[in-house]
Each structure stands twice: as C-alpha cells, then as structure tokens.
Amino acid sequence: MKICLKYFSGTGNSYKILDTCKKFFINKGCEVELSSVTDEPDIHEEAGLIGFCFPVYAFGIPRICRQYLSGLPKFSEPVKAFVLITAGDPQEAGFSVRESNGILKAKGLDVAYSDVIHMPSNWIVAMNPPPKQEARLIISRGVKKAEQAARDILNGASHHHVFNYPPGYSKFGFYKDYYLFKAGVGHLWRNFRTDETCDACGLCEKICPTGSIRTVNERPEWKKTCEQCMRCANFCPKKAIFQKGEGSVKERNKYYEPTFKPLKLKKHEDR
C-alpha cells in the first residue's frame, strides 16, 4: 500500500511521531512518503492511506495546517486517513482533532483514526518547557503510543479522540484563548524581541520552517507569516529570543526533540 504522511513541526515532536509511524509502515512492507505541509510533494493520487500530525496551538491547529487542509482537493473516493496531534498537555488539545477531522471529512476523506499524543511542551516564550530528563521520558512514551497507533491503523482499527474542556479552564477562558490566538496569530510576530546577547549568528533565519525571519542591521526580524512554532527561540544558542510582555527565556529550559535536525530538513521544507 502507498501511504502519504504530512506534518508541521516547530521543534520536532510532530515530525518524530509521524517518522515513527513511517518506520512502522515500511517494516510492514508499505511504500511511504513523509513530508512537511510546507513541502512540495502533493498527496499521491494512488495513496491508500493518508496521515497527518500537527502540534496543538492554543487549543486549535496551527494556521498553516488549517490552510493546508482547506487547500486539499476534494477526494472522489473516500481514502482512509488518520490524524495525530501532539500536545504539551493532552488534556489541553481542545479543538485540534475536531478541527482537522472536520476539514478532512468535508474533503471526502474517511478519517478512521484520530488521537492526541503527549509530547514535551515547546512554548518557551510563554512557559517553561520540561527539563531534559523529563522531556526524554515523555518522548519515549509518545513514540510508543505512535507505534501502537500505527499498528492499530494498519489493522483497520477505528478510534477517535473525545473532546474535553481542559480542566482548570472556564468555558469562557477556553474560547477566549482559542479565538484570541486564532485571530491574533498574524500579529504575534510583532512581539518578538532579542536581547543584547544576540550575536546575529543567523541560525534562526536559516531554520525557520516558514521563511519568516530575516536579519536586518544584525538583528532578526519576524514577519506576519510566522506561525509561532518556537523553533527560533528554542534553537537560539544564546537564548536571546523572547516575546514582549512574557519576559526573558534565559532561565527557562530550551526544548527541541533531540534527534530533530532542522538544518538538514530545511531544504525540503522551503516552499
């Protein structure tokens, strides 16, 4: 069977989950193509299974994923599909699965399997990601869950993540955060700052998955295509990148999935 897998990933979690599925499928004799939603190859016409993995951003899916799914052609045959969402807290996955499944069903895909996988939080500008050892433990559990999901999917199992309001949030607080981020993501790039330790090394510009950073007068500048994926802030060797109103990240743990190599991926991710 031919399988097409599409991800968006700031710090490697969603990539790791789908890459784990890829390895499992290949072991079972499938032909698999894995690529970013920012990458060229379209979903293969002959695909017998299509899989997606995205991070959750403020209870929804990243804008770029919503745009990608909405831009898919309508399928004349109900091809089987699955959706996996990575979340810093699986109880805070919000509408992410519901949103993805809704768009895919409208495109004529048969979404038979969806789930949320706990991976370390990478939202370094807003909160402290877990320390290294804890992160490694969360990743290894996440990878096991991805292997089980891949096995279940190939066996034809049907499974759906059930929506819940995150504990500790009022309904008002939940909807407020969801809609504020959804409406505001095109403006949040304005909040990025660098402190005096930025030495204009240019790494952030090189690794940005959406090409949203350029160096001007020896300082990075963000633009409105920024998805808030946090790759720049987590990979910055000086921890110099932060956001206005959220404070320095110097004392926080950096996070990226340890095997994730964005410089190698970058040439494929460019649109």
Ligand X SMILES: Cc1cc2nc3c(=O)[nH]c(=O)nc-3n(C[C@H](O)[C@H](O)[C@H](O)COP(=O)(O)O)c2cc1C
CB neighbourhood size of 115 (10 A): 21
Q: Is 257 exposed, middle or buried (0-12, 13-18, 19+ CB in 10 A)?
A: buried
**Which lies closer to ligand X via its Cβ, residue 64 or residue 79?**
64
Residue (62 or 220) nearer to ligand X, CB:
62
Q: Closest approach of Cβ 158 to ligand X, in Å?
A: 24
Closest to ligand X by CB, 67 vs 158, is: 67
Nearest to 11 by CA among 236, 246, 249: 236
Cβ atoms within 10 A of the Cβ of 51, count?
26
What are φ and ψ of residue 192, in 5° steps? -70, 140
Q: Which two structure tokens, joined as six digits, stand for 86? A: 């990575």
CB of 76 to ligand X, least distance (A): 31
Give 80 or 98: the residue with its C-beta nearer to ligand X.
98
Say whether 192 sits in a helix, a strand or coil.
strand
CA distance 208 to 146: 26
- Minimum CB distance to ligand X, residue 16 (Å): 8
Q: How far is the CB of 12 from ligand X (least distance, A)?
A: 5
Q: Which is nearer to ligand X, 28 or 141 (CB)?
A: 141
Residues that bind ligand X (CB under 6 A): 9-14, 55-59, 86-89, 92-94, 119-123, 228-230
**Shortest spacing between CB 189 and ligand X, in angstroms:** 12
